[in-house]
Structure 1
Amino acid sequence: MSIDAVLARLDADLPAATERLFELLRIPSISTDPAYAPDCRKAAEWLVADLKSMGVGAGLRETPGHPMVVGHVDGDGPHVLFYGHYDVQPVDPLELWDREPFDPELQDTEKGKVIRARGASDDKGQLMTFLEACRAYHAETGRMPCRITFFFEGEEESGSPSLVPFLEKNAEELRADVALICDTGLFDSRAPAIVTMLRGLLGEQITVKGPSKDLHSGMYGGPSRNPIRVLTKILGNLHDDQGRVTVPGFYDGVPELDPEMKAQWDALGFDHSAFLGDVGLSEPAGERDRTALEMIWSRPTGEINGIWGGYTGAGFKTVLPAEAHAKVSFRLVGDQDPHAIRESFRAWVQEQLPPDCTAEFHGHGNSQASVMATSHPAFEQARTALSEEWPEPAAYVGSGGSIPVAGHFKKILGTDAMLIGFAKDDDALHSPNEKYDLESFHRGARSWARILDAFDWS
């Protein structure tokens, strides 16, 4: 069977496919708000029915939170696990939306047609690109291109509290040759990307305590310890003059970028001036001997995300605070151990405390980085297939953010993940007026059809 027949069906079926996506987008499946629990279940049930319409054996799986959707279909060749999430972010602030967030509309813009609705890009539109590819393949051939396990989560936007227990309990059922995750984006509007590196994340909240109560700065300023001064001095030591993190052992497990991968990134022509200029900046900070893309995709970071203490209200109050607080996060790469870094960071802070000051710490989660095994033949087959669909060839890229599910698949299922998505930087994810380009939806479905057709390894 020629893949051309499947692609032609996707072209002809685009209006109907768009309406199917609209049906799913009309369901306000906001996972963080208990008031929308019935809608989350409704979205899950909609997906089960859609999978069954393609001959997939699918059903709801209960969790302590929102249900999972799991479906299986037999086929020849490789076994792939496809993951997406059907829950969406809250819509606040509602007054900044140009239309009702759950009333999807196809709109004309200067850059082409877009689908406007909450969840259009993150992640319902992305999820449906894969389902539409499977639908077209099944309609043309009466079968799926390979063995597929469908796995849809309903709590991704609320921290995935049920995910790890569910994976551990059902590991044997969900294990596959390779996992496919459609929750990322294009490198630019013409070039698709396969994410092969995901940074891990470690969060810490610090409280430095000094005097037993807030003090009058006229009476105690000078001889008393000021926790804000202490904390800011410590945090000011977090980086050296070259932009490197100074926490002992922080760079243990940080690999150098493979020269072949670096050459591929350099060929992308990333314009760091435009990237920074869009947010009012001009010069790269961070490690001075690294390119901007290296810093975003393959290097670890330490950042101060918030700091507070004393009086911050209207007017002025000459107070020396009893305590000061900060939130610090670390993006991790390679084999960096988040637990070892947490302990080292806390010890590093403690060592810098002067007399009469103490520190308390509160951890805010941790996840290790994920590095995909691009030597698996699926990666190059997918890259070739993507390059045939888009104007520019596909590239292996990193991701500055963290997508924990990829690491969970590797750790719990022993399955490497391939992250392929079609979102764009201006999709306004998590923001008012979220959109998904119609081209992304259409080419995304065609891309998955090509990829599934190309998969062949033994």
Structure 2
Amino acid sequence: MTDRLDDVLAHIDADIGHSLERLFRLVEIESISTDPAYAGACLQAAEWLADALSGIGFEASVRPTPGHPMVVGHAGGDAGPHVLFYGHYDVQPVDPLELWNAPPFQPKVVTGPNGAKQIVGRGTSDDKGQLMTFVEACRAWKAVTGSLPVQVSILFEGEEESGGHNLVPFMEANKAELAADLAFVCDTGMWDATTPAVTTMLRGMVGEEIVVTAASRDLHSGMYGGAARNPIHVLCNILDGLRDETGRVTLPGFYDGVGEVPEATKAEWRGLGFDEAAFLGEVGLSVPAGEQGRSIIEKVWARPTCEVNGIWGGYTGKGFKTVIPSKAHAKVSFRLVDRQDPEAIRESFRAYVRAKLPADCSVEFIGHGGSPGVRLPADIPALVKTRAALTDEWGKPCVTIGSGGSIPVAGDFKSVLGLDALMVGFSLDDDRIHSPNEKYNLESYHRGIRSWARILAALSEGAR
């Protein structure tokens, strides 16, 4: 079937105008998942996608959840692995509306400052444009050959932008139906506008909020200062001890399961031309923090961290109030990599805090979720074939990159369905996702469709 690839690519090129019109129809639906007022629009988007999949031969349907619905579709293929493709049809709110140059749900193509054609509108990059590249690649294979090179299942979510609370329960309840050989996630990007990438590393996360209580009420610092315990001092001492002078996290067992990045991967990263000074300079900094002796890329993509995200207590209003507060609060997050266990990290942190707590003080812990990190082996056949297909399309070697952030669904695919997830997307850093004037380069959309057509063909090779 791969001998028809050139015909499929030619069909994609000839049909790009209609492909763009279909994307516009989806973007026009105001599927803002976090606002209950848009529940009807979320359902409309799910129904639109199910109809689109059914129209190209998928067995597709809208599946209810306690929140916004899922869309599930299946289509048989000629050979190769069974692929499960994930995307999300919900979008972020558009506020502040006055900062948009055009109505956010009236997509159009404009010329950007660098002369590139851009599709503008909410969801064009995150994630409607991205998921539609895959749908349109399937459409092209079906139009030219009547079938797909590999067996494909599709899972579209409607709550990614509002917590995704129903995704894991849905996957657990439908394990048999969602069984596959590997997963693809399209919610990622390229290294730059001309260099394709597969994201093979994601950091997981553990979030913790702590409340330290000393006295039973706020105290006058003149009457009690020097005699009464100040919970802000206690909390600051606890937080300060979380990292040593070299930048390493001090929690017992914190680095269990953390491996070193292979030297071949480090060499590939060095070849990316990443400008560390510019990276920090853009935010007004110049001296790298964190673990000593490691590059910024390694720190952000492949090393675990501990950060204090907020701290407060006592009087914080205007003017001055001489008070020793009863309570002090902090929010702490840990970014995790490799095989670190989120719950083990959480328990180690809580044990550390309790051990550092003086007499007469108590602590309350409030958990804020946890997910493991993801790192794909560099030699799995699907990754090798995907990189080769992307290299063929873009004319530049496809690189493997990491992400300092977290995409929980990638870890969920592994923990719930036992699937490795390859993260392939075509967004760019300047796409302004979650911000006014979101855009998706027309080339990202067009060549994204072509890229998926090539990937599906590559996965089928050698499978017979």
TM-score range, shorter chain: over 0.9
Is 1:84 aligned to 2:87, yes or no?
A: yes
Matches of 1:19 and 1:280, distance apart in 2: 42
Is 1:308 aligned to 2:312, yes or no?
A: yes
Cα distance per residue 1:188-242 (max 9 Å; x no partner) = 1221111112111100001011111111222222222111121112111211111
**Which of 333, 340, 364 is the aligned partner of 2:337?**
333
Matches of 1:313 and 1:384, distance apart in 2: 58
Judge conservation of contact 2:232–2:313 (CA < 8 Å) in 1: yes
How do residues 22-37 of structure 1 correspond to structure 2 at under 5 angstroms?
22-37=24-39
Aligned to 2:447: 443
In the alignment, residue 286 of structure 1 is paired with which amino acid?
Answer: G
Matches of 1:319 and 1:265, distance apart in 2: 51
Aligned to 2:71: 69
Cα distance per residue 1:5-48 (max 9 Å; x no partner) = 22222222222211111110110111111111110000000001
Judge conservation of contact 1:200–1:370 (CA < 8 Å) in 2: yes
Matches of 1:318 and 1:438, distance apart in 2: 59
Provide the secondary structure at the position in 1 that maps to 2:176: helix
Matches of 1:336 and 1:440, distance apart in 2: 34
In the alignment, residue 56 of structure 1 is paired with which amino acid?
Answer: F
Provide the secondary structure at the position in 1 that maps to 2:177: helix
Aligned to 2:129: 125
Aligned to 1:423: 427
Judge conservation of contact 1:389–1:447 (CA < 8 Å) in 2: yes
**Which of 4, 11, 14 is the aligned partner of 1:12?**
14
Aligned to 1:222: 226
Q: Which runs of 5+ in 2 are unaligned?
A: none
Judge conservation of contact 2:338–2:374 (CA < 8 Å) in 1: yes
Judge conservation of contact 2:33–2:90 (CA < 8 Å) in 1: yes
Matches of 1:130 and 1:74, distance apart in 2: 16
Judge conservation of contact 1:302–1:328 (CA < 8 Å) in 2: yes
Provide the secondary structure at the position in 2 that maps to 1:222: coil
Matches of 1:314 and 1:457, distance apart in 2: 70
- The size of the alignment, in residue pairs, is 458
Structure 1 residue 63: deviation in Å?
1.1
Is 1:350 aligned to 2:354, yes or no?
A: yes
**Which of 1, 4, 9 is the aligned partner of 1:2?**
4
Provide the secondary structure at the position in 1 that maps to 2:429: coil
Aligned to 2:139: 135
Is 1:191 aligned to 2:195, yes or no?
A: yes
Is 1:103 aligned to 2:84, yes or no?
A: no
**Which of 376, 379, 383 is the aligned partner of 1:379?**
383
Matches of 1:253 and 1:260, distance apart in 2: 20
Cα distance per residue 1:301-341 (max 9 Å; x no partner) = 00001111111122222222110100000011111111111
Structure 1 residue 53: deviation in Å?
1.4
Provide the secondary structure at the position in 2 that maps to 1:171: coil
How do residues 21-420 of structure 1 correspond to structure 2 at under 5 angstroms?
21-77=23-79, 78-111=81-114, 112-420=116-424
Q: How has the CA–CA distance of structure 1 residues 296 and 449 changed in structure 2, closer, same or farther, with 3 Å as cutoff?
A: same
Matches of 2:99 and 2:248, distance apart in 1: 39
In the alignment, residue 188 of structure 2 is paired with which amino acid?
Answer: T
TM-score by length of 1: 0.97
Matches of 2:134 and 2:74, distance apart in 1: 14
Matches of 1:152 and 1:457, distance apart in 2: 29
Structure 1 residue 391: deviation in Å?
4.1
Judge conservation of contact 1:195–1:399 (CA < 8 Å) in 2: yes
Structure 1 residue 392: deviation in Å?
2.5
Structure 1 residue 457: deviation in Å?
4.7
Matches of 2:346 and 2:123, distance apart in 1: 35
Deviates more, 1:204-213 or 1:429-438: 429-438
Matches of 1:230 and 1:42, distance apart in 2: 52
Deviates more, 1:443-452 or 1:255-264: 255-264
Judge conservation of contact 2:242–2:249 (CA < 8 Å) in 1: yes
Matches of 1:190 and 1:106, distance apart in 2: 20
Judge conservation of contact 1:377–1:457 (CA < 8 Å) in 2: no
Matches of 2:149 and 2:334, distance apart in 1: 41
Deviates more, 1:408-417 or 1:43-52: 408-417
Judge conservation of contact 1:373–1:416 (CA < 8 Å) in 2: no
Matches of 2:318 and 2:396, distance apart in 1: 54
In the alignment, residue 53 of structure 1 is paired with which amino acid?
Answer: G
Matches of 1:140 and 1:338, distance apart in 2: 47
Deviates more, 1:435-444 or 1:322-331: 435-444
Matches of 2:395 and 2:438, distance apart in 1: 25
In the alignment, residue 108 of structure 1 is paired with which amino acid?
Answer: T
TM-score by length of 2: 0.96
Matches of 1:123 and 1:290, distance apart in 2: 33
Judge conservation of contact 2:11–2:140 (CA < 8 Å) in 1: yes
Matches of 2:43 and 2:11, distance apart in 1: 31
Matches of 2:454 and 2:180, distance apart in 1: 20
Matches of 2:133 and 2:285, distance apart in 1: 36
Matches of 2:341 and 2:150, distance apart in 1: 37
Question: Which consecutive aligned stretches of 4+ in structure 1 deviate over 6 angstroms post-superposition?
Answer: none
Structure 1 residue 373: deviation in Å?
3.7
Matches of 1:162 and 1:353, distance apart in 2: 37
Q: Which runs of 5+ in 1 are unaligned?
A: none
Deviates more, 1:19-28 or 1:2-11: 2-11
Matches of 2:318 and 2:94, distance apart in 1: 30
Judge conservation of contact 1:134–1:144 (CA < 8 Å) in 2: yes
Structure 1 residue 283: deviation in Å?
2.1
Provide the secondary structure at the position in 2 that maps to 1:451: helix
Judge conservation of contact 1:378–1:457 (CA < 8 Å) in 2: no
In the alignment, residue 247 of structure 1 is paired with which amino acid?
Answer: L
Judge conservation of contact 1:146–1:452 (CA < 8 Å) in 2: yes
